[in-house]
Amino acid sequence: MFNKVLIANRGEIAVRIIHACRELGISTVAVYSEADRESLHVQIADEAVCIGPKEVAKSYLNMKSIIAACEITGATAIHPGCGFLAENSKFAKMVQACGLKFIGPSVSSIDILGNKIKAKRLVSEVGVPVVSGSSGSVANVNEALNVAKKIGYPIIIKAKAGGGGKGIRVVRSAQDIESAFFLSKSEAEAYFGDGEVYIEKFIENPRHVEVQVLADEHGNYIHLGERDCSVQRRNQKLIEEAFSPAVDANLRKKLGDAAVKVAKACEYVNAGTVEFLLDKNKNFYFMEVNTRVQVEHGITELVTGVDIVKAQIKIAANKKLNIKQEKINFNGHSIECRINAEMPEKGFMPSPGRIDELYIPCGNGIRVDHAIYSGYTIPPYYDNMIAKLMVYDSTRKEAISKMMSALAEFIVSGVHTNIDFQLKILRNKDFRNGNVDIGFLSRLKY
């Protein structure tokens, strides 16, 4: 096992990883920007190293400073958390070249899965359903028109290097294809430095369902069931639940088997998430693989009892997965509400600043992952998510009640939050009936 791990992240995920390390008897090194001197992850880690000024490009994305921090402290492994450098294969490669362990998948897995066209081809070759569309990248408007004619409108244009919704355009008729094609291309070029795009049939009002997988370095693969992340706004998830109200045990097995097939096809190692769209007829289609631990991993931990972050560290230390698929019980229901410092009534404008009074709910079946404290000043330079409120209960109905009770107790003063907005969603009839798709929030009146 590692003696010392460096956590190349901030906020609640850094705190979560520090906890896992400590439970495994591993010393921890936090890194921080000048704007994060007072942050919780810095205070609770065994050691902390400043890696640069407030700008992420000069701190949390600064590969050389992060690796230098390992050298200074003697850390032998890096956990990238989620966001920042977590899915950057150049970083993973550099970490390896410096004789350090990257706690995550291999460079080649990150590369294959980062190329959405390659990933889709590989996945369809092993018999996992994908959405019909162009066979590879689409070179010009004429080709785009031909593909669209064949598969029928509406279509969606996506970036080869994309993911997370950037560079995406939906086109409903031939007359709109030209401008959408060029907009998508230039957005892809701007975001990813790669303007290649491909086309798929657009699935109307699907659910976003994703399957958590774990794979060790000895060829063992398991899945931990699905999460439904349909309650999202502009690709920012707001509520996630495990399991999906739309998935029964039979479909869970099919999705899980498909996710494991995907992981095997790219010789995946460590924790990953295989994303699917689920249409109204419960057909599922592979979308992409997130090659990192996700923000919403905690709800899967609550319904399976598997500690995903500890598993990641053990896997990176070459340990065998000691959990068999048959032994995993998919029990109860879990929900996560992301608590953001923002103003939903003002277009979700971020609301950084000093937290005066703080009361964090607790109790049976309640878990809150966060990195805040009373007197803490939320810096304006980073994500505005300040806490993840998770509940676990035996049924979905009880989990919703528990979440409403916990939200009502949550007190954060000094900044605006989305707590009341979350309550509003939980009172919504469609949400309560489990009737959600990725358009749910945009249809919600408030």
State yes or no: is 443 an active-site residue. Answer: no
**Which residue intervals of 266-346 are DSSP H helices?**
297-304, 308-316
Strand-pairing partners, residue 392, are 334
Q: Which of residues 119 and 131 has its CB atom nearest to ligand MV4 in the complex? A: 131
Distance between CA atoms of residues 263 and 267, nearest Å:
6
Query: Minimal distance in Å, beta carbon 118 to ligand MV4?
Result: 16
**Cα of 62 vs its chain's centroid, Å:** 21
Neighbours of 184 (CB within 10 A): 26
The sign of the CA dihedral 364, 366, 369, 372 is negative
Question: Are 93 and 29 in contact, with CB atoms under 8 Å apart?
Answer: no
Q: Which of residues 208 and 402 has its CB atom nearest to ligand MV4 in the complex? A: 208
Which is nearest to 166 in space by CA: 184, 146, 140, 139?
Answer: 184
Q: Which of residues 287 and 371 has its CB atom nearest to ligand MV4 in the complex? A: 287
- Both tokens of 22, joined, read 């400590």
Query: Minimal distance in Å, beta carbon 150 to ligand MV4?
Result: 15
Amino acid identity, position 377: T
Per annotation, catalytic residue among 207, 227, 292, 338:
292
Residues that bind ligand MV4 (CB under 6 A): 131, 156, 164-165, 168, 200-203, 206, 208, 232, 235, 275, 277, 287-288, 438
Half-sphere exposure of 413 (CA within 13 A, CB side): 5
Query: Minimal distance in Å, beta carbon 130 to ligand MV4?
Result: 9
Query: Minimal distance in Å, beta carbon 238 to ligand MV4?
Result: 11
Q: Which of residues 60 and 276 has its CB atom nearest to ligand MV4 in the complex? A: 276
Which residue's structure tokens are 């150049």? 90
Q: Which of residues 171 and 303 has its CB atom nearest to ligand MV4 in the complex? A: 171
Question: Are 83 and 17 in contact, with CB atoms under 8 Å apart?
Answer: no
Query: Minimal distance in Å, beta carbon 137 to ligand MV4?
Result: 16
Catalytic residues: 292
